[in-house]
Amino acid sequence: MPAVRALERLDVNVPVTLFVGENGSGKSTLLEALAAAAELPSLGTSDVGADITLAAQRRLASLLRLAWRPRSRQGFFLRAEDFFGFQRSQARIDARILREKNESLGIATEQSVATAGGMHVDEEYASRHINRYDARSHGESFLDLFSSRVKPRGLYLLDEPEAPLSPKRQLVLLSLLVGAASSGAQFVVATHSPILLAFPGARIFSFDDVPIREVAYSDLEHVAVMRDFLNDPDATRGGSARLAARELVQAKEGPGGKVATQGSVRREFGMIQAMPEAMVLT
């Protein structure tokens, strides 16, 4: 990841800092390393310090020197992809607390013993208790978690938080970010979302450049591509598919040479171009 290797200094001295770049550009890697260096708890199935998939990020964290004004002791690190695992983990904890409370009061319930199928007591509780999470949409639960956990003067590192959210709910998240930032919370967010990238007063750093550089919202490729598409979907769709086809050919070149021909890529993207009409439901 050339952008990360070339990094010497990065000032995140505003309430909201945004990392933007293509997949594999290093924005998530740096965010994970920051979480490890700041010793932030993770809202996921594994803590940053114990997650076996983050060993390289912990090595990178050991090379980082963080300067605080002042040092924050509150906050968390959240990868949207870990959110469902966090929900299930919380359901098990809540279920265990409820079971222990009932047992301390001498309340016998059908969950007081393992089921005939051999399910562990806490698993039985969790399978029932998690229904209150499942009753709401993934996006609703995500926003509920976010709004209930964010506190003033905390540091919050978010990796692609838009993933479980519709555009409308991304606007809700943007509003929550604005409110929390005005109360003294600080955010560093890796995102592809033109909506979240529009945060007023945020510093935006592009990881598509080496070294990493600050960019204006109006200069972002993510914004330009989305604006062009929305202004003229029919005209833009073909051009976007052709551009994606060229990038796919380049991506499939490796030590063994090209593994895809221009013709096969054209056929692949020609089918994709036809999909919007084919998938209209009436």
Residue 221, in any domain of the structure: no
For 232-271, the pLDDT digits (tens) are 887 655 555 566 656 555 554 544 444 444 444 344 444 4
For 119-150, the pLDDT digits (tens) are 454 455 445 445 555 545 667 878 888 888 89
CB atoms within 10 A of CB 104: 8
Residue at a domain's end among 165, 191, 216? 216
Residue 98, in any domain of the structure: no
For 194-219, the pLDDT digits (tens) are 999 999 999 999 999 888 999 999 99
Residue 21, in any domain of the structure: yes
Residue 47, in any domain of the structure: yes
Residue 150, in any domain of the structure: yes
For 91-110, the pLDDT digits (tens) are 566 666 766 766 776 655 54
Residue 268, in any domain of the structure: yes
Residue at a domain's end among 162, 187, 216? 216
Residues 150, 270: one domain? no
Give me the domain span that covers residue 258. Answer: 232-278
Backbone dihedral angles phi then psi of residue 20, each to the nearest 5 degrees:
-135, 150
The pTM of this model reads: 0.69
Residues 147, 259: one domain? no
Residues 140, 272: one domain? no
Residue 254, in any domain of the structure: yes
Count of domains observed in the chain: 2
**At residue 72, does pLDDT exceed 60?**
yes
Residue with tokens 């409110």: 179
Residues 191, 244: one domain? no
